[in-house]
Amino acid sequence: MESLMFSFALSILLLSSFTLSFDSSTDQNALVSFKNSIISHPYAFNWSQNTSVCDWIGVSCGLKHHRVTALNLSGFGLAGTIAPHLGNLTFLRYLDISSNSFTGSLPSELSKLRRLKVMNAGINSFTGEIPPWLGSLPQLEALNLYSNQLSGSIPHAIFNVSSIREIEIGNNSLSGMLPSDMCNNTPNIKILSLEQNQIGGEIPSNIWKCTHLEMLSLSYNNFSGNIPREIGRLAFLSNMSLGYNNGFGGINISSSF
């Protein structure tokens, strides 16, 4: 009986070890594919397959499962495209690839990052439209695509993420209008930064439903019409910039209160 129990325990231990090794290999393979898609990396990577992925520069792992939970490569001078294999980092919570020279689009495979809370891809050269699949990331809190070459309208889907707190997508070539119900499902949003685009239409009157809004930046766009009175109901709003729009008289309206 004791021999049977020992054999069973040993089997469980070996299975757990195999699973952990397999999962770590999945993360390693994903990052190697990511590195292989980079055509320029002036700062030396220490991403050697002979060392643990958790020891690689810019990589952080969770203590329990030793899976990759954060990837911070901001300002590394990287150039290239984003490999779709990055979507296999299914434990990833924090992704910062800002201040580099990435091109192309954000691959749809990143929609598999269901635990992701922060995505910062600002100050790059990404093109195309903002991908609607961003609205399928249930835990996303901060989205930064500032200063890229993105075009098209803002997908309605990103305003359906109830956990979102920050949307910073200024300094692109976005057009279209803001969804009239954009604040219905984003009560926790604190920062909405859309300046320096080509967004038009009126500011949605339901903006008062973004009850925790602290910063609203819509300057240098094509907004028109009246500024909705409902903005006055935003108790936490401390910074608002609406200047240089078609219908606001071309006067820089910047307030701190």
Q: What is the spatial distance between Cα 86 and Cα 162, in angstroms, rounded to a whole number?
A: 25
Other CB atoms within a 10 A radius of the CB of residue 254 amount to 12
Q: Helix (H, G, I), strand (E, B), or coil: what is residue 128?
A: strand
Q: Does residue 76 surpass a pLDDT of 70?
A: yes
Q: Does residue 19 surpass a pLDDT of 60?
A: no
Q: What is the spatial distance between Cα 165 and Cα 145, in angstroms, rounded to a whole number?
A: 14
pTM of the complete model: 0.87
Residue closest to 194 by CA, chosen among 166, 164, 161, 236: 166
Q: DSSP letters of 97-109?
A: --SSEEEE---GG
The residue written with tokens 């695509």 in the block is: 145
pLDDT for 42:
72
Q: Please give the DSSP secondary-structure letter assigned to residue 177.
A: B
Strands 68-72 and 94-96: parallel
Q: Residue 253: how many CA atoms within 13 Å on its side-chain side? A: 16
Q: Does residue 20 surpass a pLDDT of 50?
A: no
Q: Does residue 3 surpass a pLDDT of 60?
A: no
Q: Please give the DSSP secondary-structure letter assigned to residue 38.
A: E
Please, what are the domains in the chain? 2-255 (3.80.10.10)
pLDDT for 45:
72
Q: Return mean pLDDT, the chain.
A: 88
Q: CA angle, 121 as apex, 115 and 126 as ends, to 5°?
A: 125
pLDDT in tens, 140-198: 999 999 999 999 999 999 999 999 999 999 999 999 999 999 999 999 999 999 999 99
Question: How does residue 254 score in pLDDT terms, banded at 50, 70 and 90?
Answer: very low
pLDDT for 44:
65
Tokens of 224: 């028109």
pLDDT for 226:
87
**Quick one: 253 exposed, middle or buried, by C-beta within 10 A (0-12, 13-18, 19+)?**
middle
Q: In sequence order, what are the residues at sequence separation of 6 or more whose Cβ sits closer than 8 angstroms to the Cβ of residue 198? A: 173, 174, 175, 221, 222
Q: Looking at this protein, which amino acid is placed at residue 65?
A: H
Number of H helices, E strands in the chain: 1, 18
pLDDT in tens, 92-119: 999 999 999 999 999 999 999 999 999 9
